[in-house]
Amino acid sequence: MIPRVVPGDDRYPLLRSTYTTVGAPNEVLLPESTSQVVAALRHAREVGLPLAVRSGGHGVSGRSTNDGGVVIDLSALNRVEVIDRAARLVRVEAGARWAEVAQALAPYGLAISSGDHGNVGVGGLATGGGIGWLVRQYGLTIDHIRAAEVVLADGSVVRADADHHPDLLWAVRGAGAGVGIVTAFEIEAMHLRDVGYAQFAVQVGQDGKELRRWAEYLAEASRELSTAVTLLPHGRSLVASITAVVATADERRVRDAVEPLLRIGTILDQQAGLVPYPALVSTAHLHANVGQQPAITTNGMLATMTGDDAAALATTVAGGRRLVQLRSLGGGGDHGGDGGDRLRAPPSRHAGGLLGLPAPGRRGPGSGLEAHNRPARWGVRRVREPSGQGRLRARLSRPDR
């Protein structure tokens, strides 16, 4: 019997929604095995209701809930197993959270670059990309998926790897939400224990020159350094909150990688040190998702950042209705990282940075892609128009994590 939660049950308020969207499904099924996932899928087909599949529910699209339908929640499939220590091969079930994965791998001195927050579910991120704190060294999470267990729409269960259903494996790594329900992954980890960690607050002018300096430095920086920038209003000016992670415990290399960031502009605050990798995706992040952060987002790629690009980003945020998040790619993020799948990385991967344009907003449950696509397009146009070069390709962040 598949555990089932329906409206009126005590657990229903904690299972009905995602991080960004309040839902009202008719029932939430919580399978505890792959065979129960097959049964849950068969049940959804038989009752003829809308279907959503959830690993963690942290994805910004909110697609892992619905109104009046069935939700298959994979959270009980959360086992993490090192199956080949020498090859650094790890089996991770789709319902695990990345905080749990980091904790399980830490005793082995292993890590998987896996997003920014410990509450993110494995399944959504590992089928959608996976830009983590180690992206310039490790590459994307999908670059290191070696096999996947997939329940197809007809209920059959297949193993996809280099020798069995290789085309399905290719699709899983980036478009997995459209090909089946992935219940487990085999992922190649990297050797890592402690990392360098720094945070800076940098004052940013209306011309955004500090952002351009950040981008110019990251274009030549060591691949061990990955950064994330959040651009926010700060009084009459702007502030860039920069998080820098260096994939080494060597203090000299951490210092050499981070110190140039202190020269991109006026530093308002700073801290740095060595931390265990699990501290970046901490178990303290784990929480129920109850629609607590409604948001409208879009994102795109910049191969380089011109002065016009930087000024446009600053102008977008100065209006007070948007914040911009920037991620440095290059290095491993271009071609799959150390040991990653370099040959199969798409041409669009060869870019200097990823930008996102999140804004607070509310949309009704089950309102789908169209409801948050319209304002998101406005945000991207504001970035594109000043440069007039059409170099920013936008797409919506859709994997539900």
**At residue 198, does pLDDT exceed 70?**
yes
Residue 217 has what pLDDT? 96
The CATH number of 80-191 is 3.30.465.10
Q: What percent of the chain stands above pLDDT 90?
A: 71
How sure is the predictor about 295, in pLDDT bands with cuts at 50, 70 and 90?
confident
Which of 61-65, 164-168, 234-238, 363-367 has the lowest average pLDDT? Answer: 363-367
Residue 176 has what pLDDT? 80
Which of 50-54, 185-189, 332-336 has the lowest average pLDDT? Answer: 332-336
Residue 389 has what pLDDT? 31
Q: What is the mean pLDDT of residues 266-295?
A: 94
Q: What is the mean pLDDT of residues 120-145?
A: 94
The mean pLDDT value of the chain amounts to: 85
Residue 376 has what pLDDT? 29
Residue 119 has what pLDDT? 95
How far is Cα 318 from Cα 192, in angstroms, rounded to an integer?
A: 39
**At residue 383, does pLDDT exceed 90?**
no
How sure is the predictor about 385, in pLDDT bands with cuts at 50, 70 and 90?
very low
The CATH number of 4-73 is 3.30.43.10
Of 34 and 362, the structure prediction assigns the larger pLDDT to: 34
The CATH number of 196-395 is 3.40.462.20
Of 345 and 197, the structure prediction assigns the larger pLDDT to: 197
Domain with CATH 3.30.43.10 in the chain: 4-73
Residue 371 has what pLDDT? 24
Q: What is the mean pLDDT of residues 222-230?
A: 96
How confident is the model over 31-83, as pLDDT tens digits? 999 999 999 999 999 999 999 999 998 888 889 999 999 999 999 999 999 99
How confident is the model over 338-360, as pLDDT tens digits? 665 543 445 445 555 666 666 55
How sure is the predictor about 237, in pLDDT bands with cuts at 50, 70 and 90?
confident
**At residue 372, does pLDDT exceed 70?**
no
